[in-house]
Structure 1
């Protein structure tokens, strides 16, 4: 049995090159094993490879990744802070002084095993062989969604190192996987009608002006649950609103979600949108509240000047802590509503409730829902045909939202009476915005 190998040669054009002669000489050489072996014996065993650049440490590579993703806009400020903290925990687990070139699939496995015991509200990942792991209750471990976020962050880091030519070879990341998340699993609770009843029948909405009360009636305490339920906007989007972000288009009052004001942000380019204002918000007094703020300071008067700003969390952190609490002992406003910390109830839950009502109660099509809540529609080609859901159509859908809860007692005018009894609720926490033309 004869084994034949075919060799293709690319020869430069030259008058002295005769391809037929070269082929004959090459075949003669191949037919003489002794002569061929003598020639091959003087050749190097392998071709020289380009040397790898001096290897960075994992810590140096992580810092470069954070800066690169921040500069090119892949991570916004809030996301960048969270990812930097989580990536630092991963680097500390793997060894921050290790060379990047030593990364392997075993690191993914090590992180996977550590995440199974990752305790909530901690900034540390324990090694899989740590004796402290036995003391951690399964009820105290982070949820599946957070586990996937950590795991995928390490994969993203390894990919970044590979694309930066810091790894000697590409790692088959697909070989180490996590179990898939349940399609019904959500980090946030969707409020039921009885829970909404508890929220909108709580002290914020039922305390009379002649009663004694110790809590501070900030404006955001009254408006954020209502706005969250009737607009589906993210808490961060609502907390950063200015008086000029509320106006009328074709006789329809709208809230404009934008990043055009001082310190305003958008989660992504799809987040910019106009949300029609539900008639119930108008009835309760939202437009009167906006007009009051506009009279106080014009277009760039914050709706909630009592909310402080920080670069990491924007304006929403104080409001979120008020509602959901902070730490094990502070359960926030949830307890007054019959809810408890740790069950997924937070200001973001109003957004989930809004989507649930549109989808499951009103049967609104998915593309309309995405348009109303600021999700991308780039993967749906048909969205480009026939306009982008005209404002009157969006208003029609918004107006159909009904909490199935009696809100006749909810009144901004009554709430202002409580505020007059606690003047410190008007104390401003924001710095004056940069002067802009009105």
Structure 2
């Protein structure tokens, strides 16, 4: 085998860089022309990618995907593979990462309109011009750019963020799409995706270690490397696997519907254990005994201090921790809907006080679906306990509940409730805070509330053909039914 020189490796690296930049020029031309394009989100993702690459370069860590790319490049000039520990192979791996980093920086600059910053800054790419003209609209002599997995994933993410997803869902989906691109290859033409690609993503999701998609310590570790290191180890919870795999499937379905691929590849490929998921993942309502234990606990009868709610004492702090479970039990509202309430969200119409479950421009609130927008009368029990004392001004109703690291007010409260339920010994594997919502639904059934009233109160979409007509059940009817709901509990201390 002829001896490779440093110049040979440099030539491979520069060629790789030119190809990458050429694709970025196409993306910089295509993306802004789409009305769903999220400029800030794309630039932010590119900057995160640059940080990940810098971490790898600092540690001289070459992920399996980079080594595979290096072998492919070498295969164009020599018939045999280089040893991974050899100096030339190490030089090539480093060069690939430097090319990826520089390409991400240049694409971010182009998307930001900062074309004065697109000249290569890394010395290894000095002299390479980044000025290939984009295709001219209507010029039949220029073939349209082939949509890759990366480009379709970008368009899909932008569309769903615009029309469907809240921020947390968008962040989860971004991690799933990054995983798919890493496993399949982001340059693969979308129309050529097949069943083997779908199975590869499914198997990767099923083999990742717990929290890989979220833990900052995993930054710079490719999914393939993480899977190899986790061989035989614990994996993501089945429910989490199902969520991520469903998001990937949504990309394929959307791609088919938008005409980027003719059929959905691997339509019958399922996640192992998915048949058991529905039965095992369902939450049950709290039992009568659990409810009695909760509302007879120190949180409602007197506790030691603000930070020690599970031990009996003389304090009785009626803040968010006191009210949120009560509102959930007597309204059926979701945790996320309650903890983000503003004081001004309690309103009165025709003498009926109600929760205005909605989201207006500029409000720091999120709703699960469009059908979540609704009016929920305040139950007479909550009025008797003095809930309206919190309904003054325009600030948050429960300012003691702080926003979590994921940007949601439910993040910290959910953890606190799980801990409190364990401390007072009412926690079980099939009950959680959401069980209050199940209790309320059962309560409506017990008083024979009509199904359309139940759906209106709980924010469930009514798919009956008649549901699309009229303005829904009157507030007076909702109030009449909600006040009938009773649990035969001792009244919490007020």
Q: Please indicate, yes or no, whether the TM-score normalized by the shorter chain is above 0.5.
A: yes
8 Å contact 1:118–1:141 — kept in the other structure? yes
Q: Which residue in the other structure is 2:457 paired with?
A: 372
Among 218, 227, 232, the residue aligned to 1:134: 232
8 Å contact 2:283–2:430 — kept in the other structure? yes
CA displacement at 1:281 relative to structure 2: 0.8
8 Å contact 1:266–1:272 — kept in the other structure? yes
Counterpart Cα distance in 2 of 1:158 and 1:205: 50
Counterpart Cα distance in 2 of 1:165 and 1:323: 46
Q: Which residue in the other structure is 1:268 paired with?
A: 369
Counterpart Cα distance in 2 of 1:218 and 1:98: 57
2:395 is the alignment partner of 1:395: no
Counterpart Cα distance in 2 of 1:74 and 1:177: 24
CA displacement at 1:183 relative to structure 2: 5.9
2:257 is the alignment partner of 1:174: no
8 Å contact 2:198–2:265 — kept in the other structure? no
Deviation by residue 1:150-186 (Cα, 9 ceiling, x = unmatched): 222222212344456555x534543334555666554
Counterpart Cα distance in 2 of 1:91 and 1:187: 32
The structure-2 alpha-carbon separation of the partners of 1:389 and 1:340, relative to structure 1 and needing over 3 Å to count, comes to same
CA displacement at 1:130 relative to structure 2: 4.4
> How many correspondences in the alignment?
336
Q: Which residue in the other structure is 2:172 paired with?
A: 82
Counterpart Cα distance in 1 of 2:470 and 2:157: 41
2:291 is the alignment partner of 1:207: no
Q: Which residue in the other structure is 2:488 paired with?
A: 404
8 Å contact 2:209–2:227 — kept in the other structure? no
- SS of 2:376 mapped into structure 1: strand
- Give the helix-richer structure, 1 or 2: 2
CA displacement at 1:100 relative to structure 2: 3.5
- SS of 2:355 mapped into structure 1: strand
The structure-2 alpha-carbon separation of the partners of 1:166 and 1:380, relative to structure 1 and needing over 3 Å to count, comes to closer
Q: Which residue in the other structure is 1:257 paired with?
A: 357
The structure-2 alpha-carbon separation of the partners of 1:234 and 1:159, relative to structure 1 and needing over 3 Å to count, comes to same
The structure-2 alpha-carbon separation of the partners of 1:53 and 1:103, relative to structure 1 and needing over 3 Å to count, comes to farther
Deviation by residue 1:397-438 (Cα, 9 ceiling, x = unmatched): 21122223222x432xxxxxxxxxxxxxxxxxxxxxxxxxxx
CA displacement at 1:119 relative to structure 2: 5.2
Q: Which residue in the other structure is 1:304 paired with?
A: 398
Larger RCO of the pair (alpha carbons < 8 Å, separation 6+): 1
Counterpart Cα distance in 2 of 1:122 and 1:129: 10
Q: Which residue in the other structure is 2:346 paired with?
A: 246
Among 353, 356, 370, the residue aligned to 2:439: 353
Counterpart Cα distance in 2 of 1:118 and 1:385: 48
Q: Which residue in the other structure is 2:422 paired with?
A: 335
Counterpart Cα distance in 2 of 1:219 and 1:319: 12
8 Å contact 1:87–1:150 — kept in the other structure? no
The structure-2 alpha-carbon separation of the partners of 1:62 and 1:204, relative to structure 1 and needing over 3 Å to count, comes to same
Structure 1 gap segments, 5+ residues each: 1-49, 325-331, 412-438
8 Å contact 2:283–2:435 — kept in the other structure? yes
CA displacement at 1:387 relative to structure 2: 5.9
Counterpart Cα distance in 2 of 1:287 and 1:192: 28
Q: Which moved more, 1:169-178 or 1:217-226?
A: 169-178
- SS of 2:267 mapped into structure 1: helix
Counterpart Cα distance in 2 of 1:176 and 1:212: 53
Counterpart Cα distance in 2 of 1:89 and 1:356: 41
Structure whose CA Rg is larger = 1
Counterpart Cα distance in 2 of 1:368 and 1:243: 25
RMSD: 3.4
Counterpart Cα distance in 2 of 1:119 and 1:352: 32
Deviation by residue 1:108-165 (Cα, 9 ceiling, x = unmatched): 22333444455554428669984734233xxx65235x44332222222123444565
2:379 is the alignment partner of 1:278: yes
8 Å contact 2:359–2:367 — kept in the other structure? yes
Q: Which residue in the other structure is 1:62 paired with?
A: 153
Counterpart Cα distance in 1 of 2:474 and 2:177: 43
The structure-2 alpha-carbon separation of the partners of 1:90 and 1:353, relative to structure 1 and needing over 3 Å to count, comes to farther
Q: Which residue in the other structure is 1:103 paired with?
A: 193
Q: Which residue in the other structure is 2:292 paired with?
A: 197
CA displacement at 1:375 relative to structure 2: 1.4
